[in-house]
Amino acid sequence: MDALVAHCEKTGEPLRHFVSRALSDALGLDHSTLFQVSTTGALVQGVYNEAVTIGGLRPHGDFGLGTFEGLDGEMVVLDGKFYQAHADGSITEPSDKASVPFATLTNFRPQHHGKIEGIDSMSSLIAALDKLRRSDNLFFAARLDGHFEEVYWRVACKVEAGVHLDKATDAQAEFRQKDVRGTMLGFWTPAYSRTIGVAGWHLHFLTDDRRNGGHVLGAKAASLEVQVHDLDNLHLAIPETREFLHADLTQDPAAALEKAEMAKDR
């Protein structure tokens, strides 16, 4: 026990996290793994063809986000259920045969619980979440539950393959809803992985009644319950489709992602 405590004090790793990781290794269990299909660099280049199906994703996580073939809406994975937010504002549960070009999932097992307060903009939301990260070099998953004074989100509209992401999202559907209860969820990706994932926080939203949701552009809330899961293992599934294999993935997608992911009037 003395050696364990000394190790945790030296590294800053929470004792609970170290024990959980050690037991997972000893028992051969998956732990703190971020599972991702394809890359944001491929999305920027318009690679929206099927890389996997919903059925193929289910074993890899109960929490996550992504999109569907042809950018046909936004994916939200919450409590083991998969949802598809459509550009007309509706929410459906896709079949296991539904095609997915990009997704990020994990088995959400938070190590940290708390509250964030006084959220009056997207920037204040991000600042509050950033305070809960213990490193700039790990991946993190976060879940926020509660009453939102306002949520502003978008849903991508279906496009033809090959249309670059920043152009494809010019026609996105945007929604605002006030006085609503729901859940925000998503991931923080380190800057060094910006060709793989969206650097910084990438959040999707789903109302408690499961009738509205999409990619978060803004939010206001007095107080939210927050849970954070540190992720120290990345599993990247590379598509073997013709479109992915021949795409030019040498360019930095950061500028195009900034344009596509943020509010147009930001």
The set of residues, in sequence order, having a beta carbon less than 8 Å from that of 228 and lying 6+ positions away, is 110, 111, 112, 132, 133, 140, 141, 142, 143
169 burial via Cβ count (<10 Å: 0-12, 13-18, 19+) = buried
What was the pLDDT predicted at 266?
41
Span 91-135, pLDDT tens digits: 999 999 999 999 999 999 999 999 999 999 999 999 999 999 999
pTM (two decimals) = 0.85
Provide, rounded to the nearest whole percent, the portion of the chain with pLDDT above 70. 89
Q: Give the pLDDT confidence score for residue 5 in this predicted structure.
A: 85
Quickly state the pLDDT bin for 23 (edges 50, 70, 90): low
Higher per-residue pLDDT: 27 or 197: 197
Partners of 240 in the β-ladder: none
- Average pLDDT rounded to a whole number, residues 26-45: 81
- Token pair, residue 263, equals 């509010």
Structure tokens at 74: 């936004």
DSSP codes joined into one string, 85-114: E-TTS-EE---TT-EESEEEEE----SEEE
CB contact at 8 A, 202 and 175: no
Backbone angles phi, psi at 245, to 5 degrees: -65, -25
Rounded to whole angstroms, the Cα distance separating 169 from 246 reads 23
First to last CA, the chain: 51
